[in-house]
Amino acid sequence: MTIRLKDALKVFGPDFLVISAAKPDKTEAENEERNKELEQTLIDLGYTPEHATGHYTYEDGAAVYENSFVVHSLPEKSRHLLGRQFDQESILDEHGLHFLQKGTTVPFKPNGHYIDDAAKQQPSWIEYPLQSGAIALALDFEAEK
């Protein structure tokens, strides 16, 4: 099912962050330990991280997933600092996908967002168990700034 951007963002609620501590060059055990550290850091900061799973298909066709967290009301500056602390290439929030080292943001497209089974057919999507299943947020890479 296709939904509008404002409806897609409602799935997460206002002021959200999707973040992981996983790195592609780490083992599954190392990534699990890194995510435990991230989760504890978020808890220590007074937040309640919610589990989610990010699914990605790269241009070469390789499909991967990352255990991630959804956090609400974390200040924007803190989001970027936390992403850098855990050596992340990018973080996702209500403004789009932020590439931390490049300092750029890829905004969401106004249309083309999917939920449920249709989301799982997209090149990238997030499984967010507090909702109906999965969501794919369409990013406008041509508008990266």
**What mean pLDDT do residues 27-31 have?**
95
Angle value at C-alpha 55, between 84 and 127, nearest 5 degrees: 100
What total number of domains does the chain contain? 1
For residues 51 and 136, the model is more confident at: 51
CA distance 135 to 55: 10
- 56 three-class SS: strand
For residues 79 and 140, the model is more confident at: 79
For residues 73 and 10, the model is more confident at: 73
Contact (CB, 8 A) for 71 and 17: yes
The domain in which residue 21 lies consists of 2-143
Instruction: Give per-residue pLDDT as tens, 52-76.
Output: 888 887 778 888 888 999 999 999 8
Question: Is a pLDDT exceeding 70 seen at residue 131?
Answer: no
Question: Is a pLDDT exceeding 90 seen at residue 127?
Answer: no
Contact (CB, 8 A) for 79 and 91: yes
Phi-psi region of 82 (alpha: psi -120 to 50; beta: other; left: phi over 0): alpha
Question: Is a pLDDT exceeding 80 seen at residue 37?
Answer: yes
What are the φ/ψ torsions at residue 34 (nearest 5 degrees)?
A: -60, -40
**What mean pLDDT do residues 90-111 have?**
90
CA distance 74 to 12: 13
pLDDT band at 29 (very low <50, low <70, confident <90, very high): very high
Q: What is the pLDDT of residue 130?
A: 53
